Amino acid sequence: MIKYELAEKRENKLQQKGGIGNMDVHFEDLRSWKNPKARVKVMRGHFVTTHSHVNTYIDLSTMKSRCNNARETAKVMAEPYLATTEVDTVVCLDGMEVVGTFIADILSRPGTVSINTGKNISVVSPETDKAGQMIFRDNTRRMIEGQNILIVAGLITTGKTMMQAIESTLYYGGRVNGICAAFSLVSKVAGMDINAVFTQKDVPGYEKYSDGNCPMCAAGQKVDAFVNSYGHSAL
């Protein structure tokens, strides 16, 4: 009974504030023209990422956490790699393991016209050490060394994190054969095409700025939240 009362009080408090923290939360539903079941939520404001400031936050929680949406998203991501791209391991960034597992299943599924049919494709995620470097522990290195790698990301804005993932994969002896993402502002990283479910064309008005060149900061607009592919933390 106490739990329900506390939950109700917290919900009422959030409603009085108009959202989470001090933000007035207004999400727009955005569905992919390639597959309407692959969808994300969009919120406008002033947000800070690891490498930049942006005026739009893209929430991937539905895509990453709900089974049906993750499966449909994986279909869009996997399609360009079915016929001619060898994949032994799917490397997942930004908490995209559920989507990555569906991609591995689609690529290797018996009866599918795929170069990878019948493979036992691995799905792994790198670890970030204290120095900020992406590493693979000894127990997962065998899934990288000498393997054909498909990297799956949530959000790509500047491409710096993706470049780090590519460099880490190469360091451990893997071959990067493809890159896909839920959303990407850039079309290429390290000369490789990015297969993105959503691009800047799908989110009109989306802008990113460097830390020292943000017009929202210059205008005195307060930061609403720190954001990354895992979520947002309101200030």
What is the residue extent of each domain of the chain? 68-204
Q: How many CB atoms within 10 Å of residue 148? A: 17
pLDDT greater than 90 at residue 14: no
**Displacement of CA 120 from its chain's centroid (Å):** 24
Q: Find tokens 């959202």 and name the residue.
A: 19
pLDDT greater than 50 at residue 158: yes
Instruction: Give the CA angle between residues 17, 18, 22 to the nearest 5°.
Output: 60
Residue 40 near residue 58, CB atoms below 8 Å: yes
Tokens, residue 152: 């799956």
What CA–CA distances, in Å, run from 13 to 7, 8, 9, 10? 10, 9, 6, 5
Q: How confident is the model at residue 141 (pLDDT cuts 50, 70, 90)?
A: very high
Residue 150 near residue 180, CB atoms below 8 Å: yes
Q: How confident is the model at residue 50 (pLDDT cuts 50, 70, 90)?
A: confident
Residue 187 near residue 194, CB atoms below 8 Å: yes
pLDDT greater than 50 at residue 19: no
Residue 97 near residue 65, CB atoms below 8 Å: no
Range with lowest mean pLDDT among 11-25, 154-168, 171-185: 11-25
Q: How confident is the model at residue 25 (pLDDT cuts 50, 70, 90)?
A: low
- Per-residue model confidence (pLDDT) at position 21: 46
The percent of residues above 70 in pLDDT, for the chain, comes to: 89
Q: What is the pTM of this model?
A: 0.84
Summarize pLDDT for 190-232 with one digit per residue, the tens: 999 999 999 999 998 889 898 889 999 999 999 999 887 678 8
The percent of residues above 90 in pLDDT, for the chain, comes to: 66
Q: Find tokens 């670890």 and name the residue.
A: 127
- In 3D space, the residue among 188, 177, 181, 111 whose CA is nearest the CA of residue 152 turns out to be 181
- In 3D space, the residue among 127, 131, 176, 117 whose CA is nearest the CA of residue 152 turns out to be 176
Those residues with Cβ within 8 angstroms of residue 132's Cβ, 6 or more apart along the chain or in another chain: none
| CATH fold for domain 68-204 | Rossmann fold (3.40.50)
Residue 162 near residue 189, CB atoms below 8 Å: yes
CA–CA separation, 103 vs 9, rounded Å?
41
Q: How confident is the model at residue 10 (pLDDT cuts 50, 70, 90)?
A: very low
What CA–CA distances, in Å, run from 59 to 104, 149, 183, 204? 23, 26, 10, 16
Q: Which stretch of DSSP H or E encloses residue 225?
A: strand 225-228
**Amino acid identity, residue 76?**
V
